[in-house]
Amino acid sequence: MTIVPIDLARTVAASECAAAGVTLVTPDSPSLLRSAAYLSVAALTPLTVAEARERVSLYVPSLVSDVAALIAGVTTLAPMLDKPAVIVGERAWSEGNVLAGVIGHELGHRRRDVATRGACGVVCSALWGVTYLAHPAVRLWEEGTCMTSDVTAAVILRDLAPDAAADEAQRALRSIYSADPASLAIGGDAIESCAASLRAGVLHGKGTAIESVLRALVARGWMPSTRWAKALA
Amino acid sequence: MMRALLVAAALVACGPVRNTLATVTPTVPASASCVDGAARCAAGVPESCRVYDGVARWWPLTPLTVDGGAAACGEVCVVDGTPARAHCATADAGVSP
């Protein structure tokens, strides 16, 4: 296994986001959208704004672009919200081996957004948004399945054992989302299932966003370990 | 306006209301008859049964493909271990029902 150079990881992050039709907002991007996003994160989680900027990456769904287009008072944000966005935290932007998992995670949310929008347009986007915020089990399920990208990246790119990667993800799930045990169990099931898949030597599902990111890294010259070379060939 | 927002917030914090929201939201799994903690493979997708607010659902455990469905395993999906867990595996691991 070779370390993923940060420039390579950033290039792949940009190309994968462009292919998914989202704006990539990095720590050195114009700060208004990032500031608004991290204030929201601090309001909804136990994290401070500084902790959120450091640790949290997030997906800004198409519904937010719709609302921004309708509200005249946010015209200063509008140019950055003309389409959905992935906002990358400071830590992820500085570590290539972490960034790949984060991009896979956030583009997993993008796929949910597209699927929901495709079902019945903006009405379904709004329904999903309200349900995500109101229903802890749905929120933790969505986050748990997307966190399987972080687990996969930790094993394949950082050479962590699957159990250690799962423990890391479970801690992150508990610390970021103040949720009840039943909701955490649903997110935790996805993480533990992913760890079991990786222990078995296979990716956790075919055609996922993290698989696309890993294949893009390989296509640009990154060499996976022998154990994972076949899966990513 | 503020009163309406507070009423709305109280309503969505109520189990039956949020379960109704989940039921009418596409891409949220439908309610099902299953036992909390059970595991299965459905069309090659690992799933676990969890009960929340008194409603059981089979929750797919993989992220989505670009087509918007839960990603099926590339080779096979199996159920094994204690507690039973559904996950992806190589073809020689066999296929679970």
Q: In sequence order, what DSSP letters do the residues of A171-217 get, joined into one string?
A: HHHHHHS---HHHHHHHHHHHHHHHHHHHTTS-SSSS-HHHHHHHHH
Q: Identify the residue with better confidence: B79 or A64.
A: B79
Closest residue by Cα to residue B73 from B42, B50, B48, B37? B42
What is the predicted pLDDT for the residue at B6?
57
Residues of chain B neighbouring A210 (CB-CB closer than 8 A): 63
Chain A: closest CA distance from residue B88 (Å): 5
Contact A182 B52 (CB under 8 A): yes
As a whole number of angstroms, the distance between CA A170 and CA A88 comes to 20
What does DSSP assign to residue B64? B
**Terminal-residue alpha carbon distance, chain B:** 53
What is the predicted pLDDT for the residue at B85?
95
Type and span of the H or E element at A145: helix A136-156
What is the predicted pLDDT for the residue at A83?
87
Q: Mean pLDDT, to the nearest integer, of A111-128?
A: 92
What is the predicted pLDDT for the residue at A147?
97
What's the gap between Cα A63 and its chain centre? Answer: 17
A145 in Cβ contact with B61 (< 8 Å) = yes
Q: Closest residue of B to A149, CA-based?
A: B63
Q: Mean pLDDT, to the nearest integer, of A134-140?
A: 94
Q: Closest residue of B to A112, CA-based?
A: B68
Which pairs with CB-CB distance under 8 Å and at least 24 residues apart come from A165-173?
A165/A195, A165/A198, A166/A191, A166/A192, A166/A194, A166/A195, A172/A147, A173/A140, A173/A143, A173/A144, A173/A147
Residues of chain B neighbouring A114 (CB-CB closer than 8 A): 68
State whether residue B41 sits within 8 Å of chain A by CB: no
Chain A: closest CA distance from residue B3 (Å): 18
pLDDT band at residue B7 under the 50/70/90 scheme: low
Q: Mean pLDDT, to the nearest integer, of B69-92?
A: 95
Quote the mean pLDDT of chain A.
91
What is the predicted pLDDT for the residue at B34?
97
The pLDDT tens digits of the residues spanning A10-48 come to 999 999 999 999 999 999 887 688 888 899 888 877 889
As a whole number of angstroms, the distance between CA A18 and CA A20 comes to 5
Minimum mean pLDDT range among A59-63, A138-142, A191-195, A214-218: A59-63
What is the predicted pLDDT for the residue at B50?
97
State whether residue B64 sits within 8 Å of chain A by CB: yes
| 3-state secondary structure at position A53 | helix
What is the predicted pLDDT for the residue at B10?
58
Q: Mean pLDDT, to the nearest integer, of A176-198?
A: 94
Is residue A218 scored above 70 in pLDDT? yes
What is the predicted pLDDT for the residue at A65?
80
**ipTM value greater than 0.95:** no
What count of other Cβ atoms lies within 10 Å of the Cβ of residue A133?
A: 15
What is the predicted pLDDT for the residue at B33?
96
pLDDT band at residue B69 under the 50/70/90 scheme: very high
